[in-house]
């Protein structure tokens, strides 16, 4: 039984590029303790991408994540994938996780399709034997024919997506994480991909999908959450959540200035503060 439990997850990105890096750190080291101790200025800009997120995902959940740009959707997926370790909070994941984000891990444009399929499969936790066993399946799904033996830099964007998709779905994950990106490729492939994902969802017990497409969420999910400024503001039936999301989008459109200010390109709640802790305890 696959399950995911998140308890009070906090993630923060410290933005370093704003000042000369090493010099400032050394200066802080020299005088810093005092400054910080006396409540002086913080060390820089901190973006809180997820703010106290608690979530339980159960066996059979097909969870859609909706939210505006920078609401924390991708960050949440990356926390679930074990890529970002939260600054605070606890995370318990049971089951084999496979992330299917916009590009695929370990891709090298000078390597052939076969070589990339192996590298990518290894990064996703498959053994060489497993990859060899599944190669015919990967070949047939990618439909690349002789192109499999050519460097992937000769591929079209659609071909690249097909191969990546074929390898990643071959891992047969128990927990499938999807981040948009299923759009590329022609219509026939899109239909195939959807079928493949549906088949995967049947087999994998949990799916989490972050998307801007209402249709995709409505078709593929049986539960949805809405993120706003790194917080879960709604959790429930996909239909209700989508409606709420549309309302908030409409509201945002009425007063675009406010929304722009609150939603920076990279994240939410930009504020000059001291990082609450450098390291998760």
Partner 1 sequence: MPAMTPQYRIAAADIASGLSAWDMWGRLGWRENKRRYRRTVIGPFWSTLSLAVFVVVLGVVWSRLWQQDPKDYMPYLTSGMVVWLLLSVTISESCIAFINLETLIKQVRVSYTLLACAVVWRNVIVFFHNILIFLLVAIYAGVAVNAATLLVVPGLLLFCINAVWVVLLLGIACVRYRDIQQLVTTLLQVAMFVTPVFWRPTQLGGDLQFVVQFNPLYHFIEIVRAPLLGRVAMAETWYVVAGMAVGGWTVVFFLFGRFRGRIPYWL
CB of 81 to partner 1, least distance (A): 6
Strand partners, 13: 47
Between 85 and 237, name the residue whose CB sits nearer to partner 1: 85
User: Which own/partner pairs from 149-156 qualify as long-range (CB within 8 Å, at least 24 positions apart)?
Assistant: 149/112, 149/113, 149/114, 150/112, 150/113, 151/109, 151/110, 151/111, 151/112, 152/107, 152/108, 152/109, 152/111, 152/112, 152/113, 152/116, 153/109, 153/110, 155/113
CB of 106 to partner 1, least distance (A): 6
Between 129 and 261, name the residue whose CB sits nearer to partner 1: 129
Q: What is d(CA 1, CA 56) in angstroms, rounded to the nearest whole number?
A: 14
Between 16 and 260, name the residue whose CB sits nearer to partner 1: 16
Q: Which residues bind partner 1 (CB under 8 A)?
A: 11-14, 16, 20-23, 25, 78, 81-85, 99, 101, 103-106, 108, 110-111, 115, 118-119, 122-124, 128, 278-280
Between 202 and 265, name the residue whose CB sits nearer to partner 1: 265
Q: What is d(CA 149, CA 36) in angstroms, rounded to the nearest whole number?
A: 58
Structure-block tokens of residue 272 = 């000059």
Strand partners, 175: 97, 206
CB of 168 to partner 1, least distance (A): 10
CB of 148 to partner 1, least distance (A): 17
CB of 108 to partner 1, least distance (A): 7
Between 77 and 221, name the residue whose CB sits nearer to partner 1: 77
């Amino acid at each position: 039984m696959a399950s995911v439990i998140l308890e009070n997850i906090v993630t923060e990105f410290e933005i370093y590029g704003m000042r000369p890096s090493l010099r400032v750190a050394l200066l802080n080291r020299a005088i810093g303790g005092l400054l910080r101790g006396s409540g002086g200025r913080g060390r820089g800009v901190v973006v809180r991408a997820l703010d106290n997120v608690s979530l339980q995902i159960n066996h059979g959940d097909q969870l859609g994540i909706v939210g505006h740009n920078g609401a924390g959707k991708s960050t949440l997926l990356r926390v679930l994938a074990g890529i970002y370790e939260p600054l605070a909070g606890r995370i318990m994941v049971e089951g084999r996780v496979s992330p299917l984000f916009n590009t695929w891990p370990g891709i090298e444009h000078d390597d052939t399709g076969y070589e990339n399929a192996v590298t990518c499969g290894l990064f996703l936790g498959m053994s060489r034997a497993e990859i060899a066993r599944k190669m015919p399946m990967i070949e047939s799904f990618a439909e690349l024919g002789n192109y499999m033996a050519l460097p992937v830099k000769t591929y079209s964007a659609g071909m690249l997506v097909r191969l990546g998709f074929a390898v990643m779905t071959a891992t047969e994950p128990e927990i499938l994480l999807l981040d948009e990106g299923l759009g590329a490729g022609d219509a026939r492939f899109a239909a195939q991909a959807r079928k493949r994902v549906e088949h995967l969802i049947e087999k994998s017990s949990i799916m989490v999908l972050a998307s801007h497409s209402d249709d995709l969420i409505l078709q593929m999910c049986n539960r949805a959450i809405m993120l706003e400024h790194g917080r879960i503001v709604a959790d429930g039936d996909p239909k209700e959540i989508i409606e709420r999301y549309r309302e908030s989008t409409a509201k945002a459109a009425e007063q675009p200035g406010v929304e722009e200010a609150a939603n920076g390109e990279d994240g939410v709640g930009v504020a000059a503060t001291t990082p609450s802790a450098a390291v998760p305890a």
